[in-house]
């Protein structure tokens, strides 16, 4: 794993995977990929009336812990994701970090709502460069 202490990272988050750009936002930079456990991707009909979505007990916690382990030493974190309600993995990650890892949550400088699946990695990096250019520190 790359040392990212005192660095800015860009993270895209979907239900299935997160991509972490910890080495900068220049063109051609490759992200680290973190995949959700396979059980999170199973969309079987549930008959259990007490089942209310994919809570932390069903694998999200492991997925979010893996993401936290990758980004916790960064100085600034820009999140990019999309979705609504329970399908918004970025919002779920923000809430998880606020509850379980507040020090990491405080490093989030913005959470951009973008259709990650429709963007190339180059477009995501361009979006991040534009965001930081318009939000000087």
pLDDT digits (tens, 9 = 90+) for 113-133: 999 999 999 999 999 999 989
CA-to-CA distance for 63 and 18, rounded, in angstroms?
Answer: 9
Distance separating the N- and C-terminal Cα atoms of the chain: 26
The answer for 28, left when phi > 0, alpha when psi is -120 to 50, beta otherwise, is: left
The whole model's pTM is what?
0.82
CATH code that applies to domain 8-134:
3.30.420.60
Higher pLDDT, 135 or 136: 135
DSSP labels for 52-78? -S--GGGTHHHHHHHHHHHHTT-SEEE
Report the length, in residues, of the chain.
Answer: 137
Domain boundaries, the chain: 8-134
Question: pLDDT grade, residue 111 (50/70/90)?
Answer: very high
CA-to-CA distance for 126 and 73, rounded, in angstroms?
Answer: 23
């Amino acid at each position: 794993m790359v040392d990212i202490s005192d660095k800015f990272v860009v993270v895209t988050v979907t239900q299935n995977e997160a991509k972490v750009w910890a080495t900068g936002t220049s063109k051609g930079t490759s992200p680290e990929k973190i995949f959700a456990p396979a059980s999170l991707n199973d969309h079987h009909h549930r008959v259990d009336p007490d089942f209310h979505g994919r809570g932390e007990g069903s694998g999200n916690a492991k997925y979010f812990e893996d993401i936290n382990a990758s980004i916790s030493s960064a100085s600034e974190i820009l999140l990019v994701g999309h979705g609504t309600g329970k399908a918004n993995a970025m919002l779920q990650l923000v809430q998880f970090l606020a509850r379980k890892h507040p020090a990491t949550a405080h490093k989030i400088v913005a959470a951009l709502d973008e259709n990650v699946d429709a963007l190339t990695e180059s477009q995501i990096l361009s979006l991040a460069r534009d965001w930081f250019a318009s939000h000087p520190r």
